[in-house]
Amino acid sequence: MEELSSATTSPVPIKLGFDSYSIRDFRWRDIQLLDYAAGLKLDTIQLSGLHDYESLEPAHLANVKEHAERVGIIIDAGIGCICPLSEGWNPNMGSPAEYLRKGLAVAKAVGARSMRCYLGGRGDRPKLEQCMEVTINVLRSVRNEALDLGVRIAIENHSGDMQAREVKALIEAAGKDFVGSCLDAGNPMWVVEDPLVTIETLGPYVVTTHIRDSAVFEHPRGAAAQWVALGDGSVNLHRFVELYRKLCPHAGMQLEIITGRAPTVLSYLEPDFWRVFPHMPAWEFARFVELAKSGHPYMGPMVIGGSGKQPPVIEAALKEQQRTDLERSLEYAKKALGVGVSWRG
Amino acid sequence: MLRRTFLQATSGAALAAAATTPGDGIRLGFDTFSIRDFHWKDIQYLDYATSLKLDTVQLSSLDDYESLEPAHLAKVKDHAGRVGIVIDAGIGTICDLSTNWDQKEGNPTAYLRKGLGVAKAVGARVMRCNMGTRADRPNLDRCMEATVKALKSVRSEALDSGVRIAVENHAGDMQAREVKMLIEEAGTDFVASCLDSGNPLWAAEDPLLTLETLGPYVVTTHIRDTAVFEHQRGAAVQWVALGDGSVDFHRFIDLYQKLCPKASMQLEIITGIPPDILPYLEPDFWKVFQRTPAWEFARFLKLVKNGHPYMGPMVIAGWGEHPPALAAAFKEQQRVDLERSFEYAKKVLGAGVRWKS
């Protein structure tokens, strides 16, 4: 209760919303997602992929923009992988510059001021420097359009592709006047990084976010981490929000809740693990070790699916869990962390 | 995890080697509680067991019967004989001081007699029952005394019907040493053990120690695996499918073959329950384990130190009612986890008779 009262009296309001990926199995589109957000008394939403729109026709996007204004929800836009060297690159998108331009136009059309995108995944770390160089060039190629449209391109630390220090270097090399950070609080686990280090490093560049909690614990091979609903994990979210208010209070806090996955083993006690992290400073890693040492496995209920296609009953339970875990995370953000504006009435 | 991988990688070789595995000749089956959400009854269970090429089934509760009318029970016996499945029977709590005692059963003697009558009628040679749960440990001595008295009250009926009463180490009510004492006090000529390999974890006991202690008394079983790992307050334990946990089942089956090869290996697979914390680093924990010898606890500690959490897929929903989508997934998981546990029991441990022919 002490934490709640100190949070609610904070002078810095933080807008609260969610990334549409949190409830992906519902296959809702723009207007449905906006209405759902409004129903939960949220302030913002991140439509993080172009597939979140019913149509990309200008008339429809104008309709989405108007609807968002009517229900009082601010849209952060988004696209996917923009590095053509990445395993995550989709050649159907044409060239990365075309894909970025398409995304920027959609973002502008729906009234968004930021557009999330990313470099790749952890499979790209063996060739990270090349990927970063290409991504910087791609970003620079759309600098004028981004500045003209007034849309900041927000690079996510995605799926273990980069550590915060690397994202920061990329943003600064591309140009921080049009490139910012989409800070993801769950992905740092994959790169043995304490999410508090991530926000300390990227805070000044953050324009939108993906926020979730993680249960981290020691494992015979190093540590293991599992994404969980907000408040169910090991991350000190009170400290996280304190830093958030200080470093990036204007960025929408978009919850990207991803549960239902088994813990991932981070085998840092084995030499091979370090092949793709040759430049990580020991002091940064020590912060993660501290987190792992003080954490424990998530011990609550959760539907954890296996790999690949799941039986229909498991799929149905996972789908329902997406909604349940997002909503209880939003409650935690509101009531325990004091985040959000609209819900206060 | 490693054992599961081993199973996948060597299933062909394991099949060929099954005849010489430690589980050779041990009858394999399941406790109906494993698939409780299907709400099947006797004949359905028997047919399901047959379809899986099993040898036995434990109808562990009177609720497992469509009817307790003699004509129906005779039909169940005939059907079991026809499909070649040996029935182990069962009832629930027999201690009227337990928090788990069901008043509707009248008194323990009447309940035991009713169970023995049903067991005899379906051709069972053993009947599982239990004393209570871990909530009864503060009152353990009195509960054990009342249970011994209840058991002694039906000695003649049990001996006449040829049905051994198998007391389970149930839900953390007793450690193996205590069950052994209870059996010996009641009379080893008609009382025995239904050895549960998952419940010892709720009583901070290594299941191998349970088997070593109770092995000579075991006539039926509840077998499952458990993931055990350290926790800030002591340890945490979670029941998992066979081969997914921390228990050394290769050693377990070796001991089983040596100590109780004639007892049916009834899998009682219970997954989907969150880990349970055993706060043995806190003094209060020990209030109900005052007589546990340190050497026994040290065996458990070793298991904890070597274990780690279960890291695979699982619908973890806990006990009680669930929303429809979750309930459907939970129910399906019961069948899937039981069947993959059978595969482990057959192919890795070599248990079971019928599937080899």
**CATH code, B250:** 3.20.20.150
pLDDT of residue A262: 95
Count of CB atoms situated within 10 Å of the CB of A316: 18
Query: At B287, is the pLDDT very low, low, confident or very high (cuts 50, 70, 90)?
Result: very high
Residue A105 has pLDDT above 90, yes or no: yes
Q: How does pLDDT run across B60-76, given as a tens digit for each residue?
A: 999 999 999 999 999 99
Label residue A12 by pLDDT band (50, 70, 90): confident
Mean pLDDT confidence for A315-335: 97
Mutate to test the interface with B, among A296, A318, A323 (most CBs of B within 10 A): A296
ipTM score here?
A: 0.77
Quick one: pLDDT band at residue A11, thresholds 50, 70, 90?
Answer: low
A319/B325 Cβ within 8 A = yes
Min distance B47 CA to chain A CA atoms (Å): 24
* CB atoms B311 and A224 under 8 Å: yes
Best B4, B316, B321 residue to mutate vs chain A (most A CBs within 10 Å): B316
Residue A8 has pLDDT above 60, yes or no: no
Q: Do B332 and A313 touch (CB under 8 A)?
A: yes
| Separation in Å, CA of B267 to nearest CA in chain A | 23
The helix/strand/coil state of B196 is: strand
DSSP string, B65-129: SS---HHHHHHHHHHHHHHT-EEEEEEEE--TTSTT--GGG-SHHHHHHHHHHHHHHTT-SEEEE
End-to-end CA distance of chain A: 21
Q: Chain A interface, mutation test: which of B326, B333, B337, most A Cβ atoms within 10 Å?
A: B326
Task: Dig out the tokens for A281 from the structure.
Answer: 């400073």
Indicate the residue of A220, A296, A316 with minimum beta-carbon distance to B329. A316
Going by their DSSP bridges, the two strands A213-219 and A253-255 should be labelled as unpaired
A7 pLDDT exceeds 50? no
Cβ contact (<8 Å) for A303 and B323?
A: no
**Whether residue A190 has pLDDT greater than 50:** yes
Q: Residue B346's domain spans which residues?
A: 2-356
A224 and B CB contact within 8 Å: yes
What does the pLDDT average to over B229-236? Answer: 94
- Interface contact flag, A262 B277, Cβ < 8 Å: no
3-state secondary structure of B319: coil
**Cα B231 to the center of its chain, rounded Å:** 26
A31-70: b (≥16 Cβ within 10 Å) or e: bebbebbbebbbbbbbbbbbebbeeeeeebbebbbebbee
Listed in sequence order, the residues at least 6 apart from A19 whose beta carbon sits closer than 8 Å to its beta carbon are: A45, A46, A48, A78, A210, A254, A255, A256
Q: B242 vs chain A: nearest CA distance in angstroms?
A: 17
Q: Which of A32, A18, A137 is nearest to A78 (CA)?
A: A18
Confidence band of A112 (pLDDT split at 50, 70, 90):
very high
In this predicted model, what pLDDT tens digit does every residue of B330-350 receive, in sequence order? 999 999 999 999 999 999 999
- With an 8 Å Cβ cutoff, are B315 and A297 in contact? no
Q: Does A314 touch chain B (CB under 8 A)?
A: yes
* B20-36 average pLDDT score: 94
Q: Which helix (H) or strand (E) holds B230?
A: strand B225-231
Beta bridge partners of B57: B30, B87
Q: pLDDT tier at B5 (50, 70, 90 boundaries)?
A: very low
Query: For B313, which of A296, A305, A321 is closest by C-beta distance?
Result: A305
Q: Enter the tokens of residue B317.
A: 């929903």
DSSP for B176-188, please give it: HHHHHHHHHHH-T
Whole-structure pTM value: 0.86
Confidence check: pLDDT of B1 > 60: no
Q: Is A300 on the interface with B (CB under 8 A)?
A: yes
Whether A85 has a pLDDT exceeding 60, the answer reads yes
Residue B223 above 60 pLDDT?
Answer: yes
Reduce the secondary structure of chain A to three states and give it as a string.
CHHHHHHHCCCCCCCEEEEHHHHHHHCCCHHHHHHHHHHCCCCEEECCCHHHCCCCCHHHHHHHHHHHHHHCCEEEEEEEECCCCCCCCCHHHCCHHHHHHHHHHHHHHCCCCEEEEECCCHHHHHHHHHHHHHHHHHHHCCHHHHHHHCCEEEEECCCCCCCHHHHHHHHHHHCCCCEEEEEECCHHHHHCCCHHHHHHHHHHHEEEEEECEEEEEEECCEEEEEEECCCCCCCCHHHHHHHHHHHCCCCEEEECCCCCCCCEEECCCCHHHHHHCCCCCHHHHHHHHHHHHHCCCCCCCEEECCCCCCCHHHHHHHHHHHHHHHHHHHHHHHHHCCCCCHHHC
pLDDT at residue B318, rounded to an integer: 85
pLDDT band at A59, cuts 50/70/90?
Answer: very high
Q: Is a pLDDT exceeding 50 seen at residue B11?
A: no
- Per-residue tokens: A172: 């600064």
Tell me: pLDDT of A1 over 90. no
Nearest Cα to Cα of residue A298 among A247, A261, A337: A261
Q: What is the mean pLDDT of residues B191-207?
A: 98
Residues of A in contact with B339 (CB under 8 A): none
End-to-end CA distance of chain B: 29
Q: Which amino acid is at B172?
A: G
Tell me whether residues A301 and B231 touch, CB distance under 8 A: no
Element housing B141 (H / E): helix B140-152
Query: pLDDT by residue (tens digit) across A217-227?
Result: 999 899 999 99
Residues of A in contact with B237 (CB under 8 A): none
- Judged against a pLDDT cut of 50, whether residue B112 lies above it is answered with yes
* Percent of chain B's residues with pLDDT above 90: 91
Q: Which of A189-203, A253-267, B295-309 is predicted least confidently?
A: B295-309
- How close is the nearest chain A Cα to the Cα of B319, in Å? 10
- List residues in chain B touching A: CB distance below 8 A: 229, 231-232, 236, 274-275, 277, 308-309, 311-318, 323, 325-326, 328-333, 336
Look over chain A and give the mean of its residue pLDDT values, rounded to a whole number: 95
Angle between helices A237-247 and A195-202 (to 10 degrees): 0
- Nearest chain B residue to A303, by CA: B315
Please determine, for residue A9, whether its predicted confidence score (pLDDT) is greater than 70. no
CA of B281, closest CA in chain A: separation in Å? 16
| Overall average pLDDT of the A102-116 stretch | 98
Contact B329 A314 (CB under 8 A): yes
Q: Is A288 on the interface with B (CB under 8 A)?
A: no
Q: Is the pLDDT confidence value at B18 over 90? A: no
**Domain boundaries A10-214+234-257, corresponding CATH code:** 3.20.20.150
Order of all β-strands in the sheet with A114-118: A206-210, A179-184, A152-156, A114-118, A74-81, A44-46, A16-19, A253-255
Name the pairing type of β-strands B234-240 and B225-231: antiparallel
Q: Annotate B21-58 with DSSP letters as a single string.
A: STTBT--EEEEGGGGGGG---HHHHHHHHHHTT-SEEE
pLDDT tens digits, residue range B148-160? Answer: 999 999 999 999 9
For chain B, the domain total comes to 1
* Cβ proximity of A147 and A202 under 8 Å: no
The mean per-residue pLDDT over the stretch A232-258 comes to 98
A66 shares contact with chain B (CB less than 8 Å): no
For B265-306, the DSSP string reads EEE----SPPPEEE-TTSGGGGGG-TT--HHHHHHHHHHHHH
Q: Which of A181-185, B17-21, B54-58 has the lowest mean pLDDT?
A: B17-21
Which of B217, B237, B247, B236 minimizes the C-alpha distance to B341? B247
Over range A181-207, report the average pLDDT: 98
The whole-number pLDDT of residue B3 equals 41
Q: In 3D, which of B357, B191, B188, B355 has the Cα closest to residue B265?
A: B355
Q: Are A136 and A96 in contact (CB under 8 A)?
A: no
Contact list, B314 vs chain A (CB under 8 Å): 304
Cα–Cα nearest to B272, from B98, B22, B35: B35
